[in-house]
Amino acid sequence: MTTEALPAPVQASRPAGTHASVATRTVKYGLLLLFLLLILMPAYVLFVTSFKTIGDATPSRAWNLPAEWQLDGWRRAWETLSPALVRTFSMVIPAALLSAFIGSMNGFVLSKWRFPGADLVFTLILFGMFIPYQAVMIPLVQLMQALSVPSGVPSLIVLHTIYGLPITTLIFRNYYAGVPHELIEAARVDGAGMLRTYASVMLPISMPAFVVVLMWQFTSAWNDYLFALFFSNSRNGPVTISLNFLASGQLQDYSASMAGALIASVPTLVVYILLGRYFVGGLMAGSVKG
C-alpha cells in the first residue's frame, strides 16, 4: 500500500503593499516626532531657565537643568507683568468683540443685502489688509493726537478694532455667502428689515464664524507690539511692553524673562486649547463660497 506525500502547507505571504505601508507610516511618525522635538526645544529652554537662579541662568548653561529649582524668577515676572495683564485683557476683549460685530454686519450687508458698488466697497475694505503698519504709523499718531484719544488702552482698542475690520469682514462675508438666500427672502416676506433680518436670522447661525474671528483678533491684539510701542508706555501699555521692559536692562534677568514669556503666552494658549477644535470648523464653514 503506497501512501502519497501530502503537499506542504502554503504559507501566506504579506502583500508587498503592506510592507510599503508600514515603512511609510514609520517614516511619517518619525518625521512628526522630529518636528515635535524641534518645536519643543525653545519651550524646554524657557521652562528650565525660568526656575534657575540669576547666577545659574546664563546662555552657556541654557540646556542644563537648574542646579537649584527656585520660583524667584516667577515672582519677579509676576510682579512686573500682573498690572499689564489686567490692562491687556481690558484692551483685547473689547477690541475683539467690536471688530467681530462690525465685521459681521459688514459681511452680512456685502453678501446678502446688495447695493450698487458693493464689490468696490469690499475691495477697498480688503485693501486695508495689505497696508503695512509701519507705513501709516506717523499719520496714525498725528490723527490720534488730533482726536485727543488717550494713549494706552483707549487708543489700542480703537486701532485694533479698525485694523481688524478687513479680516473680520472677509471671514463673515465668505461665511454668509454660504447661507441660503431663501432665508433672507423669507424674512423679507415676513416684513423684516435689514437690521431685524441680521439680528433674528443671521446672528443665531453665526457662532462658528464668531469663534474664528474672536480667536484671531484676540491673538493678534494680545501679541501686538508695534501699536503698543507707539501708543502706550510701560505704565499704561499691554503685556508686550512690560515684557520688553522686563527683558531689557544692563543686568539680564534671564529667569524672570523666561518666566514672563511663559506667563504672557498662557492666555492665548488657553484660548486655543479650549476653542481650537472649533477654529478649523469655522474656517471650513466659511470656505464654501467666496
pLDDT tens-digit readout, 25-64:
888 899 999 999 998 898 899 899 989 888 888 888 888 8
Residue 8 lies in a domain: no
| Mean pLDDT, residues 263-270 | 92
Residue 290 lies in a domain: no
Residue 250 in grid coordinates: 544692563
Residue 135 lies in a domain: yes
The residue among 201, 195, 167, 196 whose CA lies nearest residue 181 is 201
What pLDDT is recorded for position 15? 58
Range of the domain at 54: 21-61
pLDDT tier for residue 253 given thresholds of 50, 70 and 90 = confident
- 201 lies in the same domain as 262: yes
| Mean pLDDT, residues 221-239 | 92
As for how many domains the chain has, the answer is: 2
pLDDT tens-digit readout, 166-215:
999 999 998 998 888 888 888 888 888 888 888 888 888 888 899 999 99
Residue 67 lies in a domain: no
- 103 lies in the same domain as 51: no
What pLDDT is recorded for position 290? 42
Looking at 7, 37, 61, the residue that finishes a domain is 61
What pLDDT is recorded for position 31? 92
- 122 lies in the same domain as 213: yes
What pLDDT is recorded for position 136? 87
Looking at 61, 84, 112, the residue that finishes a domain is 61
Place of cell 469655522: 282
- 47 lies in the same domain as 98: no
- 57 lies in the same domain as 200: no
Residue 191 lies in a domain: yes
- 56 lies in the same domain as 193: no
- 78 lies in the same domain as 52: no
- 128 lies in the same domain as 187: yes
- 49 lies in the same domain as 116: no
- 188 lies in the same domain as 47: no
- 203 lies in the same domain as 240: yes
